[in-house]
Amino acid sequence: MTIDEQTQRDAIARAGDRVRALSLSLGRKPTACVVTFGCQMNARDSEKLAGILEESGFSIIDDEDADFLIYNTCTVRENADKRLFGRLGAVGARKKEKPWSRLAVCGCMMQEELHVDRLKKSYPFVDLIFGTHNLFTFPSLLDAVLAPENAGNMIVDVWDRTDRILEHLPSKRKYPFKSGVNIMFGCDNFCTYCIVPYVRGRERSRRSADILDEVRRLADDGVREVMLLGQNVNSYGKNVPAGEEAAYGSFPELLAGVAEIPGIRRVRFMTSHPKDLSDELVETIRSHDNIARHLHLPLQSGSDRILKRMNRGYDSAGYLALCERIKARVPDIALTTDIIIGFPGETPEDVDATIDVVRSVRFRNAFTFLYSRRSGTPAAGFADQVPKETAQEGFDRLLRTVQEIAAEETKKQEGSVGEVLVESVNENDARLVTGRLSDNQLVHFPGDETLIGQFVRVKLCEAKGFYYIGQRVQGSDAVH
Ligand code: SAH
Ligand code: SF4
Ligand code: F3S
């Protein structure tokens, strides 16, 4: 254990004493809730925060009325920011009736000074603000914010960078049977629209032995599916200190290592940047049938002019050729993507070019976003911002194509049998359970909560756009 790790462990113990004192005065165990606003990485950070809170003695609940509430924010698009401010007002009112309660705000938004200033000015009831780089100091911050002498004071601790990666901190998984695993932090790509490199900092990879150890421990603890997380997993192990390359290796090597850990039934990863996806990676997927038959490959735009201005490092021909190579080697793989519409300078012809790529690749699903101007990014300063109505028009056109193709592709699997990892009871119909196929498609089928966390064979009876209605079948010859 490093000195940093020991310091944080000691802080968890001190916070634990404070939680015990609170428990005595309340006559019950205090509760804590961590709300995730962002991506899988944000969600994984929330699990770490919840782990620390639990180890300090809080009972973790899914209710914002908790005694300790954390908002883990996202700032990738403007509506993510709006969601936070919308929620804060209501919490402020509730907090007055519970003077012992604490509210923390952390995550990507807090790496931007303007948001922190706004909280200081208009939401003084927030007790603690911290950022992405010092998430690992949460035990010390928790200890400080629970100290009675700090009641009513706002503690603000946001770092502008870090080169440290702390191992061995607790985490509390949302699902017992699946888990995200960080393999790297930050991003060095600087796509011109994107705020992530500014709020998550430079790329840092974890050592492969630490990652494999974590996955082994997760497998021993009942985890059957892991998702390896990084903003661009293909650059895992690059940009590491000279002479230490052997401690990392390449992403395909790491992926194979994870897939070969006993007990791991399914491995996913997010996100792969098209500019440096290697043939070795495709081969690794092909040769391991427990690596999910799903590749999320963000296109962003199909127009070469726009791709260049986005600084994506590939053109549409390169992207199409890559998809062909992948499909030729792994025919049952489902490709999904992210697309931005309304990037500065985008014309209806550029949208046509994007739609052409969507038609050629035939994505199983695509997340479509309206361009959101993020201050501090290069594209925010581009003069030719696209009017909202023009962007919306392109967006609607693209969405229709995406939905049409996704529905056709989903339909092709109708009647086949797939292996579903059951995740939950269906939210709308308690007679159904919901799970995912290896190719990440959602399936709803009759069943009860005893199936949660299990892999079951399901016939895909009816394709419904982006999901299936299925029926459980017996036997063991799953097709995907
Ligand atoms: N590292 C991942 C993506 C992280 S953000 C990758 O490169 O694929 C997830 C998605 O949000 C991006 O793929 C992009 O489509 C979208 N996005 C990012 N910044 C955006 C912005 N300013 N406006 C609209 N969409 C954006
Ligand atoms: Fe953002 Fe580009 Fe990095 Fe993805 S690769 S996080 S889109 S800068
Ligand atoms: Fe949002 Fe931060 Fe993820 S900005 S998308 S939570 S890396």
- For 417, half-sphere exposure in the C-beta direction (CA atoms, 13 angstrom radius) is 13
State the residue for tokens 């929620």.
Answer: 87
- Ligand 1 touching residue 300 (CB < 6 A): yes
Per-residue pLDDT at 44: 95
Question: Domain end: 126, 157, 188, which one?
Answer: 157
Task: Read off the pLDDT band of 480 (50, 70, 90).
Answer: very low
| Claim to verify: residue 194 and residue 305 sit in the same structural domain | yes
Domain-embedded: residue 203: yes
Dihedral angle computed from the Cα positions of residues 50, 56, 60 and 64, in that order, rounded to the nearest 10 degrees: -80
Give the pTM: 0.95
Is residue 324 a contact partner of residue 374, using CB atoms and an 8 Å limit?
A: no
Per-residue pLDDT at 239: 86
Range of the domain at 138: 5-157
| Claim to verify: residue 433 and residue 331 sit in the same structural domain | no
Name the residue of 35, 36, 39 to mutate for ligand 3: max ligand atoms within 8 A of Cβ. Answer: 39
| Claim to verify: residue 129 and residue 14 sit in the same structural domain | yes
- In ligand 2, the atom with minimum distance to the C-alpha of 194 is 1
- Strand order in 68-73's β-sheet? 59-60, 31-36, 68-73, 102-107, 128-130, 155-157
- Ligand 1 touching residue 234 (CB < 6 A): no
Q: Per-residue pLDDT for 171 more than 50? A: yes
Q: Per-residue pLDDT for 475 more than 90? A: no
Domain-embedded: residue 163: no
| Claim to verify: residue 380 and residue 437 sit in the same structural domain | no
Of 306, 297, 248, which Cα lies nearest the Cα of 276?
A: 297
Give residue 194 CA to ligand 1 midpoint distance, Å: 6
Per-residue pLDDT at 86: 87
| Claim to verify: residue 145 and residue 105 sit in the same structural domain | yes
Distance, CA of 259 to chain centre:
20
Question: Domain end: 411, 443, 464, which one?
Answer: 411
User: Which CATH number do you get for residue 74?
Assistant: 3.40.50.12160
pLDDT tens profile 172-207: 999 999 999 999 999 999 999 999 999 999 999 999
Per-residue pLDDT at 479: 45
pLDDT tens profile 118-145: 999 999 999 999 999 999 999 999 999 9
Read off the tokens for 40: 């899988």
CA distances from 313 to 21, 193, 299, 305 (A): 56, 14, 11, 12
| Claim to verify: residue 234 and residue 272 sit in the same structural domain | yes
Give residue 414 CA to ligand 1 midpoint distance, Å: 31
- Ligand 2 touching residue 162 (CB < 6 A): no
Per-residue pLDDT at 477: 47
- Ligand 1 touching residue 275 (CB < 6 A): no
- Strand order in 294-296's β-sheet? 294-296, 334-341, 365-370
pLDDT tens profile 407-417: 999 999 999 99
Rounded-to-integer distance, Cα 229 and Cα 181, Å: 6
CA-closest residue to ligand 2 atom 4: 231
Per-residue pLDDT at 129: 98
- Ligand 3 touching residue 184 (CB < 6 A): no
Give residue 360 CA to ligand 3 midpoint distance, Å: 30
Give the total number of structural domains in the chain. Answer: 3
Task: Read off the pLDDT band of 399 (50, 70, 90).
Answer: very high
Share of the chain above pLDDT 90, in %: 91
Structure-model confidence comparison of residues 94 and 479, the more confident one: 94
What mean pLDDT do residues 310-329 have?
Answer: 98
CA-closest residue to ligand 1 atom 3: 231
| Claim to verify: residue 366 and residue 446 sit in the same structural domain | no
Give residue 55 CA to ligand 3 midpoint distance, Å: 26
Amino acid, single-letter form, for residue 177: F
Share of the chain above pLDDT 70, in %: 99
- Ligand 1 touching residue 372 (CB < 6 A): yes
pLDDT tens profile 292-311: 999 999 999 999 999 999 99
Per-residue pLDDT at 476: 55
Read off the tokens for 190: 């600087």
- Ligand 2 touching residue 196 (CB < 6 A): yes
Of 66, 11, 79, which Cα lies nearest the Cα of 34?
A: 66
Per-residue pLDDT at 364: 95
- Ligand 2 touching residue 108 (CB < 6 A): no
| Claim to verify: residue 152 and residue 225 sit in the same structural domain | no
- Ligand 3 touching residue 196 (CB < 6 A): yes
| Claim to verify: residue 303 and residue 400 sit in the same structural domain | yes
Give residue 187 CA to ligand 2 midpoint distance, Å: 6
pLDDT tens profile 228-259: 999 999 999 998 989 999 999 999 999 999 99
- In ligand 3, the atom with minimum distance to the C-alpha of 73 is 6
- In ligand 3, the atom with minimum distance to the C-alpha of 231 is 7
Name the residue of 76, 187, 233, 271 to mutate for ligand 1: max ligand atoms within 8 A of Cβ. Answer: 76
- In ligand 1, the atom with minimum distance to the C-alpha of 194 is 19
| Claim to verify: residue 222 and residue 327 sit in the same structural domain | yes
Question: Mean pLDDT for the chain?
Answer: 95
